[in-house]
Amino acid sequence: MGASELADRPATGASPVPDPRDEITDFLSPMRAFAISLTRNMSSADDLVQDTIVKAWSNIDKFQPGTNMQAWLFTILRNTFYSDRRKHRREVPDPDGIHAAALFEMPAHHGRLAFNDFKLAFDQLSVEHREVLILVGASGFSTEQTAEMIGVAVGTVKSRTSRARKRLAELMGLEGEEDIMGPGERTTPAVTKPGQFVV
């Protein structure tokens, strides 16, 4: 056996290098929640997640170990959504208007805000506004990470987030963003458990 072959063999007792594909299934719930926030349709969201998984699996060599797997998957999911949207040139229909109902729950201390009012208001936001509220708020990505994922400037993410919060407040008949939150709390959705968001 030559020296090069010896060099290629793993050291005795060394741990095998983990396959990043094993991590993909850890993010199914947040991927599905993000997909639903974009498509507003459960079936379309599931198809979008499946397409994302296939693309991620097929292009795993492009993932840089040590970087944020969820951000990488969300980028693939988002790019797939917009690519499909351009092909169809229309929004996915939402005939019954209740597809997101299972995703959202209001905390007890926000009882003054009716859940239906929030859901209806969130559904009326543009896809760009829903996107930044989910990424920056519910998924906990920084504005910098979000900007990188969606391919815009950090200032654009901040501007969209601010406009989305203000629009949400307007649609809910609130005087300002502070009415969507309690003292010291975030105005964007936050994850309470996989697949559920609160404001």
For residue range 14-33, list pLDDT tens digits in order: 566 677 888 888 999 999 99
Whole-angstrom Cα distance, residue 24 to residue 63? 11
Total structural domains within the chain: 2
75 shares its domain with 152: no
Per-residue confidence (pLDDT) for residue 106, from 0 to 100: 44
Whole-angstrom Cα distance, residue 27 to residue 4? 38
Of 112-116, 145-149, 190-194, the one with minimum mean pLDDT is: 190-194
Asked if the structure places residue 145 within a domain, the reply is yes
144 shares its domain with 187: yes
Domain that holds residue 113: 101-199
**Mean pLDDT value of segment 172-186:** 50
174 shares its domain with 144: yes
Asked if the structure places residue 64 within a domain, the reply is yes
Alpha carbon separation from 69 to 112, 168, 183, 187 (Å, rounded): 37, 30, 33, 26
Of 21-30, 106-115, 145-154, the one with minimum mean pLDDT is: 106-115
- At residue 2, the 3 state secondary structure works out as coil
Which has more pLDDT, 172 or 199? 172
196 shares its domain with 143: yes
**Mean pLDDT value of segment 83-112:** 55
Q: How many CB atoms lie within 10 A of CB 159?
A: 13
On the CB side of 24, CA atoms within 13 Å amount to 20
34 shares its domain with 120: no
66 shares its domain with 107: no
Query: Which of 1-10, 125-134, 166-175 reaches the highest mean pLDDT?
Result: 125-134
**Mean pLDDT value of segment 107-118:** 55
Its pTM surpasses 0.75: no
105 shares its domain with 199: yes
Pairing of strands 190-193, 196-198: antiparallel
Per-residue confidence (pLDDT) for residue 31, from 0 to 100: 93
